[in-house]
Amino acid sequence: MKRPLIIRMGGLRAVARLGALLLLSVVLIASLPIMALWPFGRSHQPAVEIHDEAGIFYAETLTRDLEALRFREDVRVAVVSLPGDDIENLNDAVLEYARSQPGQPWISAERPDKWADGLIILAVAPDSRWIGCYFGEDIDPPLGRQQDIQNAAKPQLQRADWSGAMVTMGEDLADLIGRPGDGDPGLSHVLPGIAAIAGIVLLIGTLWVGLSARRLATAARRSYAQVTHDYETTELLAGTIPSDESHGAQVLERYRWFQQEYAHVTRGFLELGSPVGAQWFSHALRRRAKDLSKRAAYLDTLDDVIVNASALLTLSSTWQSAWANEQGPVLEDLQSLERLCNQVDNRATGVDTSKDREWVRGQKRQLDTMTTRLGAHQISPSHALDELDRIADETRSRAGQLTRAALDADTSPHAEERRRRYENSQNFGRVAVYTGNWSLGGGHGGYNPHSTIRLNPSSPASGAVTSGGGGFSGAGSASSFAPISDLVVGYSSASSYTPASSSGSSSFSGSSFSGGGGFSGGGFSGAGSSSRF
C-alpha cells in the first residue's frame, strides 16, 4: 500500500519546520527590494499650479508631465520661477512671493509660521542661480534628502532645461514621500540589506544542512557496509596478531575497542533509521549523521591497522606494503629535520648543521638496510618497529636542539622576541598531523598515517590505549609520535619576525552642502531648503 504523500515528504512536523524556515528566508530576502522600491500606494495624482514669473517654462507641457506623476498621498505641487539676479536668499524670496498671493493659500491657516499641509513648492531663480523646494509639515522630507533632490536636478538647470529639472525633482519626491522612514537610507537600504543577507545565509544554511546530512549519512553507510563486509576477515586476522609482542598487544587493545564501537555504531544506525524528504533538513539529524560518519570511518580505518599489523608481525606475503606504510611518519620527520637544516643555514646563524644532515642520510640508509634484513628474517618485526621508535625520538630531539641553538645564536635586536614567539608557538596546544607524503634523498613516497601500527595523532582509537607519561602507555608499546613539522614551522615564523613599520596617517576632507539660510523674516519656520547651481 502506497504511503500518504505527507509521510513520503517527511511527516507534517518536518515539512512545517522546513516550510517555516524557507518562508522566513524569502521574507528576509524580499525585504531589500521591497523597501528599496516600495511600490505601494502610488495612486494619487497631484494638483499642479505653475507660477512662471521669469518666463522660462513651457507651462502646458510641464503641467502635463507633473500631473502624470503618482504620489502615495494627496499633494499640491506649486512650481514658481522668480526673475532677477539680485536674489541673495531664495527662501525669503519664495516666502515673500507666497505672502503676496491672494488669500495666501500656500501658508497654513492654523499655523501661519508653516507651509500648508500637502503642499510642495518647487522654486527656481534662473538669473540668481538658485534652486529650492519647500513642504507642508505633514510631508517634510529630511534635509539631506532635500539636498539630494536638488543636486539631481542641477545638471539640467545648468543646461537651462528648466522644465526638465522641475520634473526630475517631482519624480524624486513622488518616490520619496510616503516611504517608511521618509526614504532614510538606513531604513530603506541598510537594514533591509542586512535582513536580506541574513535571509540568504538562512536559506543557504537550511539547504546545506539537508544536503550535507544526506551526504554524511551516505558516507557513513558506505564505511559501515565496508566494515561489515570485512568483519569476519578482520576478526580472523586479529587472531593472528601475537599478544605477547609489545606492538601487537597495543593493536589488540585497539581491536577490543573496535568490537565495542562496532556494536555502538550498529545501534546508531538503527536509531538514525531511514530519513526522507524534509526530515533531512534538521540540525539534530545532521549532527547524528556526522557522528556516525566519523565513527564508521574510524572503524573502516582501524580494520586496515589490523590488516597491516597481521601482515607485518607475521611477515605474511603483504608485509612489504605494511612496512613501507610504517616507515612513512619517520621518513616525513627526517624530511622535516632536513628542511630545518636548510632554514638554519639560510638565516646565516653560524650554527653548523652538517652533523644533522649526515645523521639524516645515515638513518635513511639504516631504514633501507632494515627492509633487507626483515626480508631475510635477520631481525624481527618487533625489533624493526622499536628501531622506528628510536629514530623518531632522536629526530625530535635533534630538531629541538638545532632550533634552540639557532635561536640562541641570533644576536639581532629582535632575538629575544623571536625566542619568545617560538616558545609560544610550541605551547599553543595545536596538534599537528602527518601529511602522508615524504621526499628525502632523491626518493619520495606516500602512506596512510591513519593505518600505521605505531600511534600518531591520526591513529584511530588511540584513546582506547591507557594514557600515561609523555605519550600513551598500556599493554605493549603505546608511545604516540607527533610530527616535528610544527617545530619547523614555529622556527621559520619566529626567526623571520621583524616589527611592522608604522604608517603615516591621512586626513579626509569633504565638501559641505551650500544652501541658503533659513527664513529671516516674521518668525516663519516652514520646512524647505535651497542651494545654488
- For 479-494, the pLDDT digits (tens) are 678 899 988 888 888 8
Report pLDDT for 461: 81
In the predicted structure, residue 412 carries a pLDDT above the cut 70: yes
Q: How far apart are CA 405 and CA 350, in angstroms?
A: 10
Low-confidence winner among 67-81, 119-133, 411-425 (lowest mean pLDDT)? 411-425
| Cell numbers found for residue 217 | 549519512
Closest to 139 (Cα-Cα) out of 121, 153, 165: 121
CB 310 within 8 A of CB 241: yes
Contacts of 417 (CB under 8 A, 6+ apart): 497
**Which residues contact residue 288 at a Cβ distance below 8 angstroms, ignoring those fewer than 6 apart?**
268, 271, 272
Cβ within 8 Å of residue 380, ≥6 positions away:
none
**Nearest C-alpha neighbor of 329 from the set 476, 249, 474, 446:** 446
Mean pLDDT of 95-111: 92
pLDDT at 388 over 90: yes
Q: Phi/psi zone of residue 192: left (φ > 0), alpha (ψ -120 to 50 degrees), beta?
A: alpha
Question: How far, rounded to the nearest angstrom, does the alpha carbon of residue 227 sit from its chain's CA centroid?
Answer: 36
Query: Average pLDDT, stretch 369-396?
Result: 95
Q: Give residue 7's pLDDT.
A: 77
Residue 215 identity (one-letter amino acid) = R
Provide mean pLDDT across the span 455-459: 91
Count of Cβ atoms closer than 10 Å to residue 323 Cβ: 23
User: 326-353 pLDDT, tens per residue?
Assistant: 999 999 999 999 999 999 998 888 899 9
> Helix, strand, coil % (nearest 5) of the chain?
60, 10, 30
User: Residue 36: what pLDDT?
Assistant: 62
Q: How far is residue 343's CA from residue 361's CA, in Å, rounded to a whole number?
A: 18
CB 347 within 8 A of CB 492: no
How many percent of the chain have pLDDT more than 70? 89
Residue, of 373 and 36, whose pLDDT is higher: 373
CA distance 307 to 238: 8
pTM, two decimal places: 0.63
pLDDT of residue 30: 84
The x, y and z cell numbers of residue 469, run together, are 607519561
State the residue for C-alpha cell 521669469.
54
- Give the ranges where 347-380 is alpha helix by DSSP (H): 354-375
DSSP states of 436-462: SEEEETTEEEE--GGG-SSB-TT-TTG
Segments making up each domain of the chain, as ranges? 47-179, 212-306, 318-468+477-496
pLDDT of 56 strictly over 90: yes
pLDDT for the residue numbered 219: 94
- pLDDT confidence of residue 508: 28
Residues 488 and 490: their CA atoms lie apart, in Å, by: 5
Cα–Cα distances in angstroms (integers) from residue 493 to residues 344, 364, 402, 426, 498, in the given order: 12, 28, 15, 12, 10
* 206, 18 contact by CB (below 8 A): yes
Residues 6+ apart with CB under 8 A from 355: none
470 has pLDDT over 50: no
Is pLDDT above 50 for 253?
yes
Asked whether residue 284 carries a pLDDT value surpassing 80, the answer given is yes
| Residue count (the chain) | 533
Ranking 21-35, 336-350, 516-530 by mean pLDDT, the lowest is 516-530
- E strands, 205-359, in order: none
pLDDT higher at 246 or 500: 246
Least confident of 75-89, 267-281, 464-478: 464-478
Report which residue type is found at 2.
K
Residue 275 and residue 416 in contact, taking contact as beta carbons nearer than 8 Å: no
Q: Which residues pair with 164 in a beta bridge?
A: none
- For the chain, the average pLDDT equals 86
Cell numbers found for residue 430 = 595545536
8 A C-beta contact, residue 422 and residue 445? no
Of 330-334, 346-350, 465-469, 497-501, minimum mean pLDDT range: 465-469
* 47-179 has CATH 3.40.50.720 classification: no
Q: What was the pLDDT predicted at 42?
A: 65
CB 188 within 8 A of CB 181: yes
How confident is residue 467, by pLDDT bands cut at 50, 70 and 90? very low
Please report the pLDDT score of residue 504 as a whole number: 38
Contact 311, 417 (CB under 8 A): no
Calculate the alpha carbon distances from 77 to 248, 392, 444, 527 in Å.
95, 88, 83, 15
How far is 470 from 482, CA to CA, in rounded Å?
Answer: 11
Give the three cell numbers for residue 49.
Answer: 499650479
What is the pLDDT confidence band of residue 100, given thresholds at 50, 70 and 90?
A: very high
3-state secondary structure of 106: coil
* Least confident stretch, 15-29, 77-91, 227-241, 513-527: 513-527
Least Cα distance to 445 among 352, 364, 343, 340 occurs for: 364
Residue 156: how many other CB atoms lie within 10 Å: 18
pLDDT over 90, % of the chain: 60
- Looking at residues 173-182, what average pLDDT do you find? 76
List, for residues 234-245, the tens digit of each pLDDT value: 999 999 999 998
Q: How far apart are CA 30 and CA 22, in angstroms?
A: 12
Region 349-371 average pLDDT: 94
